[in-house]
Structure 1
Amino acid sequence: MQFENNREFALKLDAEDELSKYRDQFIFPKVDGKEVIYFVGNSLGLQPKSAGKYVDEIMQAWAELGVEGHFKAEKSWWDYHERFADKLAKVVGAKPSEVTVMNTLTVNLHLLMVSFYRPSGKRFKIICEEKAFPSDQYMLASQARFHGYDPSEAIVEVKKRNGENNFRTEDVLQTIKEVGEECALILIGGVNYYSGQVFDMQKITEAGHEIGAFVGWDLAHAAGNIELKLNDWKVDFAAWCSYKYMNSGPGNASGCYINEKYHNLKDLPRFEGWWGHNKKRRFLMEPEFQPEPDANAWQISNVPVLALAPYLASLEMFDEVGMPALIRKRNKIVAYLEFVLQEIDKEVESSFEIITPPDQNERGTQISVFLHGEGKEIFNYLMKNGIFVDWREPNVIRLAPAPFYCSFSDVFNFGQVLKQGILGKKE
């Protein structure tokens, strides 16, 4: 499609948008009484209007039923998490038995590493990406120390080549080959939080299995954003937060994937608790743990239903729309954003450098831009003028026009405000 950087063209794209009606199902913050342009769904998604209703249902059941709400509420609490399985499996390309919802992201990665980081002898190393999200770095280092290893020896980082902004798949595969039988685990962020690059999860997973390592993925920036086929790719495990593209609310519950081949393995270690115990016998209070026959065996405590309620509300919309439709709009709106940035770059004689890969297969909703010659004042200008974007040092702005609620007009208007901010500074 031949794009145009004008209001009429953006409105035309909005009129053709099959998902435009969903914009009205979200609540937008306001600046000076006007709804903001919200490009930070990669950090915290907007609140679905239905989220309050789902929370209120639980509050009302608690008021009317008390403890009996566990079993007699319309959406009974004791199996509330089971309502996620079918819908969430479609989002991440899994079987319903392979997914569950519990805890928060880094907590779940730690718990999953009990099962999948099992260093022994010379096989003790962990491969991750250079400058992974800090929480992952802290987690991996603490896991290495917990098992008695020096993180500087146990953790192998795949690095970007000098002068390049993204990782090359061949470099990841080469690192895996070089570490070889010393590698116990590969754990990488499926979508890089800084650049928005999507890793080739299928090839990397295959390469990890060829050397006998477990392969897991942190899908914080991937779930609800890109096409995932965790079961087809034979991924061993994965976890993701739900508050970014999946709009579940700040700090909310994490989703987990555990490949079906690890279900019902008695010799696979894991930390256990009563919500992972055989559901049919859970309230018999038996002393010996009998695991559920699926991913729910990794559950520990009864689930926080008040937290899960907004997640379920959002997931209902994902199930209604489907990932293919979201990805179609994502590709189009991100391409339009890229075009608008390039056009504005020409008009202001500045120097924008998009560090997110241009190939649609290697990126999701996020575009990361080096604003060379521009300081944080341009970020502050955008925020003051109702454009919510994300700043990363030294001078990167991350833009994520989430397809559920962002419009093509948002993209055009963002470009105009960005131009005004830069030109105004130069005058």
Structure 2
Amino acid sequence: MSNQINFEYSLSFAQKMDEQDPLKSFRSKFFFPKFDGKEAIYFCGNSLGLQPKTTQSYIQKELDNWAEMAVDGHFHGEDAWYHIRKKSKPALAEIVGAHEHEVVAMNNLTSNLHFLMVSFYQPTAKRFKIITEAGAFPSDMYMLETQVKFHGLNPDEVIVELAPREGEHTLRTEDILLAIKEQGEELALVMMAGLQYYTGQVFDMKAIAQVAKEVGAYVGFDLAHAAGNAPLALHDWGVDFATWCSYKYMNSGPGNVSGIFVHEKHAEKPDMIRFAGWWGHDEGERFKMEKGFKPMFGADGWQLANSNVLALAAHQASLDIFQEAGIKNLRQKSETLTSYLEFLIEEISGDTGVIEIITPKNVKERGCQLSLLIHKGGKAVFDEFYKNGIVGDWRNPNVIRIAPTPLYNSFEDVYRFAQILEKSIKKFV
């Protein structure tokens, strides 16, 4: 593991690490953007993952089915569209730590949050509060705000935002758990990120779910930055619901299909309030076209419309790579790769005062991403990176997010980044 390795700031060390990497061949399965004719150093998988080279053939297969069979493609062919959602379930279940009946790919992330909130946020006069993290991703903030207003309530009185202590950048687990206990019988829901997009902090979802359950509240997570990145065990943790996108670490294409998790304890609750559609109805009776919604077992019962076949094809191209690589193997490499990045940043920036890493140092409290707080130079530091072929991500007011992704990034990528970082810092010291 990373804490047993004596890292070195040298090309030979990085190349040696790559030679020993059992996942090194997976890099060749992806297309890289070019910069001045050379592959860019792509550290932006936390925003949009690279395209697998197989994606086109996966989509083309469904285009061919459409061309050759038209409507009959729903029930004929190797992957009949009527059941095509099932193909992604094994990989999704493994990635998020769930049973296959607890997951399904559908819609997009914020749509799924709204649909899940219909079921899991039913405020009463006594129990109506929602806990979330301060500075959540804007889409989550807007979703919560409008859900609360939909129930005729005042967001300022309902939503409890938890902020780090003064002088700190990340939330302490004990503060989150204390807030849950303090809200107690007034708390209806804990709804927050699994991995905070700005700081890169992975929250202790297991502890949060347990304490929320103790006070009688539901708990749900937005796993946009956690799925395919951080270790997840949603079923064992007792999380009620979660959703994620597939275009970041799961490399399924810009804006592509989301997925949901609904714990099996909610699998057979036909009277549970939800917004229904015919694809969530008992598929054995779906074509009877009768009144009376009968939800399918598990997460499938939250589906609305029929599956987006072309989107699922692109999704599957990446999921097949995940299954080949193994989520545990990817996590092991990720911890080492990100620790090497951290070592080099600290080695180079030293006491210059230009950069501060605000992502937790504990590898169990972070994924691939390191968030760099820029104290000198501002966005000019980021622009300097881009001029030299580094694709990262700038977030206002002053953070650069850098994410070495284990499926396709190498230790030499990290070393090359460090060389550019060293040159860039000298311009702003």
Give the TM bin, normalised by the shorter chain: over 0.9
Tell me which moved more, 370-379 or 359-368: 370-379
* SS of equivalent residue, structure 1 residue 279: coil
Q: 1:24 aligns with which of 23, 28, 31?
A: 28
Relative to the length of structure 1, the TM-score reads: 0.98
Partner of 2:389: 386
Structure 2: state its 5+ residue gaps: none
Deviations 1:228-269 (A, max 9, x none): 111101110000011110001111111100011111212210
- Hey, what does 1:341 align to over in structure 2? 345
Taking the aligned partners of 2:177 and 2:97, their CA distance within structure 1 comes to 23
CA contact (8 A) 2:130 2:191 kept: yes
* C-alpha displacement of 1:425: 5.6
**1:307-346 deviations in whole A, cap 9, x for unaligned?**
1111111111111121110011000000000011011113
42-51 vs 381-390, which moves further: 381-390
2:197 & 2:223 partners in 1: Cα distance?
Answer: 10
The AA in structure 2 aligned to 1:91 is I
Q: Quick one: distance in 2 between partners of 1:425 and 1:86? A: 49
Q: Conserved in 2, the CA contact under 8 Å of 1:345 and 1:352? A: yes
Equivalent of 1:325 in 329, 345, 352:
329
- Cross-structure match for 1:53: 57
Question: Unaligned stretches of 5+ in structure 1?
Answer: none
3-state DSSP of counterpart to 2:191: strand
Out of 227, 230, 253, the position equivalent to 1:226 is: 230
User: Matched residues, percent identical?
Assistant: 52
Could you tell me how far 1:43 is from its partner in structure 2?
0.5
Q: Is 1:364 the counterpart of 2:337 in the alignment?
A: no
1:354 aligned residue (349, 352, 357): 357
Q: Secondary structure at the match of 2:237?
A: coil
- Quick one: distance in 2 between partners of 1:394 and 1:263? 43
Residue 156 of structure 2 is matched in structure 1 by: 152
> How far does the alpha carbon of each residue in 1:25-74 deviate from its partner, in whole angstroms, 9 at most, with x for none?
00001111111010010000000111111100011111111111111132
Q: Which moved more, 1:324-333 or 1:412-421?
A: 412-421
Separation in structure 2 between the aligned mates of residue 422 and residue 120 of structure 1, nearest angstrom: 54
Indicate yes or no: 2:184 matched with 1:184: no
Query: In structure 1, what is the equivalent of residue 124 of structure 2?
Result: 120
Between the aligned partners of 1:54 and 1:281, the Cα distance in structure 2 is 31
Alpha-carbon contact 1:173-1:207 (below 8 Å) kept: yes
TM-score (norm 2): 0.97
- In structure 2, the residue matched to 1:269 is 273
- Check conservation: 1:93, 1:228, Cα contact below 8 A: yes
How large is the Cα RMSD of the aligned pairs? 1.1
| 1:401 paired to 2:404 | yes
Tell me, yes or no, if structure 1 residue 250 matches structure 2 residue 254. Answer: yes
Q: Report the more deviating stretch, 95-104 or 280-289.
A: 280-289
> Which one-letter code corresponds to 1:342 in the other structure?
E
- 1:217 and 1:265 map into 2 onto residues whose CA distance is 21
Distance in 1 between residues matched to 2:384 and 2:313, nearest whole Å = 36
**Pair 46,123 (structure 1): closer, same or farther in 2 beyond 3 Å:** same
SS in 2 for 1:2: coil
Q: Which amino acid aligns with 1:200?
A: D
Does 2:89 match 1:85?
yes
